[in-house]
Amino acid sequence: MGEEPHDDREDGATHIAGISEDGISVVIDGEQRLIGWSAVSGISSAVSKRDDDMVFVAIAIDAADGERSLLVAQDDPIWTELVELLHLCLPVAPLEAWAAGTAAFPGAYTLYRRPIVG
């Protein structure tokens, strides 16, 4: 008999609770915080060959207690909202533009890297 998939959210792990034009609502150590889009330092996408070629994005954020990484898979309930808002809130191309690049590259495909000022 197979093992049930484990949801890290049950353990209080860092995860996305919601998303809007104001930012990403993230639960960190059981506390929900709104992380503004300006705190996003990078976004990459990739395809997981182990999960039937599922696309996912990794979002690096600057939280008050340090950098955090958030993973969102294509089957996550927040996926549709995320890909719709990314190109509205950050200089990221719409999904149709980067999906082919993600599928073509064997590793992570960079969608956004915050410019370094100074």
The predicted-structure confidence for 84-113, as pLDDT tens digits, reads as follows 999 999 999 888 888 777 777 777 888 999
CA angle 71, 116, 31 (to 5 degrees): 40
56: CB partners within 8 A, 6+ apart: 45, 46, 47, 48, 71, 72, 73, 74
Model confidence pLDDT, tens digit, residues 21-78: 999 999 988 899 999 999 999 999 988 878 888 889 999 998 777 888 999 999 999 9
